[in-house]
Amino acid sequence: MKARFTNYFIIISAVLWSTTLSSEPSWKAKEYPATAAHAPTPLPDRVVLTWDGNPATSQAVTWRTDVTVMEGKAQLAVANANGRALQPDTFIATTTHFESDINAAHYHSVTFKGLQPETLYAYRVGDGVNWTEYYHFKTASSVAKPFSFIYFGDAQNDIRTHWSRVFREAFRDAPRAAFTLHAGDLIDEDAWDAEWGQWHQGPDWVNGTIPVVATPGNHEYFQTFDRTQKSRVRKQVSTHWRPQFAFPIQDVPDASLQETVYYLDYQGVRFISLDSNTAQAAQVPWLREVLENNPHPWTIVTFHHPVFSPASDRDNTELRELWKPLFDEFQVDLVLSGHDHIYARTGEVDQAKVFNVPSGYQQAYDPNIGTVYVVSVSGPKLYKVTKGKYAKRFAENTQLYQIINIEGNQLRFRAFTATGNLYDEFLLQKQPEQPNLLIETFLQQ
């Protein structure tokens, strides 16, 4: 009899527990599966290549484990055709303890230095017992040579469900890309480890063999609240940002901008990441110096908020007034942004057809300067055009990826839809002592 009552008690308890779970708010209910699904283990995950030094002679790698792994290790060798003959060197990682909203983990990071330019390397990461497979990466050339990279606007929402296919379609089109560039809002909630987990799952092993270059968006930022002053205080970048990425730590105007404001030189191109979320004016002197001392023929700048905003009621006037004069003065070639969940690419337009364009947008493309501005989106959150026809090419309700090739004095830009269809294409050609020549190859087809 006692056993029967015990069984009834177990059944009733289970029903009450089930009822309690189902009565939780939807955001709360999602935590239960996320806790298990995104839990770290002794086996490394979230392996991602970045650069914090010269891409020709260094390579950084970061990965995650559970907290039982106190010391991370990486092994590296010049790649060969006989894996069992590899004789790798072993490197000890810098390990950081990290507390997320659903778990505790250790992030490990190693920077391989003193590498040979234009060389294929094999590496793996682990703890000496639990290793990943061997990945390959290739160092950059120390001189200008042709290469391509992939550019993504905001992933942000439904990342695993709807963004992963966009990334994989891009990789199918450009499997030998030098790196992927992400123009902010990689995720939606800066502190949600499950979303960061989805962002890593989308590219999966590709992030371990093709480096990532990223600039933060507003969704990578959060604001703390000062209860004594009853006001919000300075914005801070997501606590996930620095443990999982290793970007250059340079002489930026404020320590809080380290690893969000930086530049990288890759085979004849200077890539500059600015942080459009905070301290915009403070970045101006640093930007001037980086542009003045650029030894390369090409300059590409990325940041999240567009200079020319195509959607909603947003207009980043202060950013445009602070940064665009420098882009004009130094004839920056290409500016890549996100934020507005639409595709808009500047080029020469018939001014008679421009309507409902805000003040300052009429010169979104000036042929006397030659800078092309692009806004794009790769995730499923999509907006409508609201700013009139200031750009040469627009797309609404369309997820895209972009492949950019640079060879000598020519840059080729192609935008593709999520299904791999070419949506836009243009060429930029360098001209001696003149602004770039913009050639509308797609519109001529």
| Consecutive 10-residue averages of pLDDT for the chain (445 residues) | 40 37 37 80 98 98 98 98 97 97 97 98 98 98 98 96 97 98 96 96 97 97 70 79 97 94 98 97 98 98 97 91 97 97 94 82 92 98 91 96 98 98 98 95 79
Residues near 435 by Cβ (< 8 Å), separated by ≥ 6? Answer: 331, 367, 368, 369, 370
Q: What distance in Å separates the CA atoms of residue 404 and residue 415, rounded to the nearest whole number?
A: 9
So where are the chain's domains? 45-138, 147-439
The whole-angstrom separation of Cα 313 and Cα 361 is 14
What integer pLDDT is reported at residue 24 of this predicted model? 33
pLDDT of residue 173: 98
Phi, psi at 206, each rounded to 5°? -65, -35
**Degrees (nearest 5) of the Cα angle 105, 179, 71?**
25
Residue 115 carries which DSSP code?
A: P
The pLDDT of residue 340 is 96
Find the DSSP H helices in 23-148: 26-29, 31-37
Distances from the Cα of 41 to the Cαs of 20, 38, 69, 130, 137, in angstroms?
A: 29, 9, 9, 10, 25
Amino acid at 124: R
30, 213 contact by CB (below 8 A): no
CATH T-level fold of 45-138: Immunoglobulin-like (2.60.40)
Q: What integer pLDDT is reported at residue 235 of this predicted model?
A: 83
pLDDT for the residue numbered 226: 61
What residues contact 156, with CB distance under 8 A and at least 6 apart?
A: 163, 185, 186, 187, 188, 217, 219, 379, 381
CB of 63 closer than 8 Å to CB of 107? yes
Q: Domain 147-439, CATH 3.60.21.10 — does that match?
A: yes
- At 358 the pLDDT is 87
